[in-house]
Amino acid sequence: MMISKKIDELKEELIQSTRDILMIKSVEGEPTKNAPLGKGVSEALDKALDICDKLGFKTVNMDGYVGYAEYGEGEEYIGILGHLDVVPEGDGWKYPPYAAEIHDGKIYARGALDDKGPIMAALYGLKAVKESNLSLTKKVRIIFGTNEETGSKDMDYYMKYEKPPIGGFTPDAEYPIIYAEKGATIFDIVKEIDVLEDESIKINYIKGGNRANMVPDYCEASISGLSYEWLTSHIEKFNQKEGLKVLLEQENENIIIKTYGVSAHGSTPERGKNAIMFMMDILSNIDISNNSLKKFISFVNKNISYDVYGRNFGVYLEDKASGKLSFNVGVINYNEGKIIMTLNLRYPVTFKLEDMMEPFKKTLMGTGIEIENFEEDKPLYFPPEHELIKTLQKVYKEQTGDEPKLLAIGGGTYAKEIPNIVAFGPIFPGKPDLDHQPNEYIEIDDLILNAKIYGNAIYELAK
């Protein structure tokens, strides 16, 4: 109660500090000597540390990559990690995205929820602990990251010079607590395609999708050697598939096939309709002349098709903590001589990478298809009985009166960037997720409640 009472006393100061940091456009920019992630990001970090300084905390700026405010004594520390960088504001705002105007009890600005508002709430939570003269056995660091949106170079730099916290959280997701985040991989499957002198029915190119971690809503292919009438008749049955559409366009001797699907995040491909796999379905029913391309199309139709869980490929996995493996085809590029398909596979938290990749490679055997550009983001998992989870559950229930259910996700949060922390808020159940959206805002009541939750959580973890 003491901490929450202090937060109420600090309310106006918290609102003003939050607005001050939100008024800085901290999108990654051109690096300079003292601003490795650009001028705006550097300005936001300086401002945050200046606020910390005025609140009476020891501050450290690690060469513009990351900064932190520290309170307490001891070797071990509790880490609260948030980021000050934001994605570009985009269009469609009803209030200026960097004015931090208050309307109807809401602060509107890019970064209000993700993560500037919440990390300021955590900072003032620590200030309330300090002003309440509560004794701690561990140090506490509020860590200000600067590169979460575009690669997390900040945390690579931090971990190069600092030891990890023994526990903590990041206000970079939703409440109650995300205790499980799937392992995520992005990689290409690539096949060299024979270049033939004469092809009576020829696919000139295939291109679709923008990012591995998005279900593609558009794909197109150019084909020659077929009549427009025959192809129109051929695609008729495909336009009966729910949520999918195909159109044809004549272009000189070629016909452009355009497929349309429904976009979704790569972590939840079941919510989308994949325009690339729709294209593969259509092309598999055309007798093209190039046998090596034909074999690739046939292979992906047999082993992927519209399956988003990896069953066809032989890589299906499922656990109680995080559910089913997800399998997304995100991008395709075919030009004469090579076809590249970019995949985003996410595996359940209690499995290892090889549980997925060994059967994956087995399915590829003898096809001439190679794996290239492999990237992995390891899973994050805390058992429900872990002390960190139990502590945060206790605080959440005390402060909100709600049941602190544990969440498992296919996406990744900032918690994956340093050891021993979990994602904890700031979005309350039933509230909209406005991250990266126009008209992003944080409700002032939620900002204050976040500060109370975070202040009490900091005390419970560090006492």
- Point out the residues that are catalytic: 85, 148
Where residue 80 falls (left for φ over 0; alpha for ψ -120 to 50; beta otherwise) is: beta
What is the CB-side half-sphere exposure of residue 146 using CA atoms within 13 A? 33
- Beta-strand relationship, 202-208 and 380-381: unpaired
Q: How far apart are CA 249 and CA 333, in angstroms?
A: 20
Instruction: Work out the burial of residue 355: count CB atoms within 10 Å of its CB; fewer than 13 is exposed, 13-18 middle, 19 or more buried.
Output: middle
Which three-class secondary structure state does DSSP give residue 369? coil
First-residue to last-residue Cα distance in the chain: 15
Which are the contacts of 208, defined by CB distance < 8 A and separation ≥ 6?
216, 218, 219, 220, 259, 275, 276, 279, 331, 332
Q: How far apart are CA 153 and CA 342, in angstroms?
A: 23
Instruction: Count the neighbouring beta carbons within 10 Å of the beta carbon of residue 394.
Output: 14
What is the CB-side half-sphere exposure of residue 45 using CA atoms within 13 A? 29
Which three-class secondary structure state does DSSP give residue 266? coil
Q: Is the peptide bond between 115 and the residue preceding it cis, with omega within 30 degrees of 0?
A: yes
The string of DSSP letters for 5-68 reads HHHHHTHHHHHHHHHHHHTS-------BTTBTT-HHHHHHHHHHHHHHHHTT-EEEEETTTEEE
Cβ atoms of 152 and 37 closer than 8 Å? no
Which run of H or of E encompasses 318?
Answer: strand 318-319
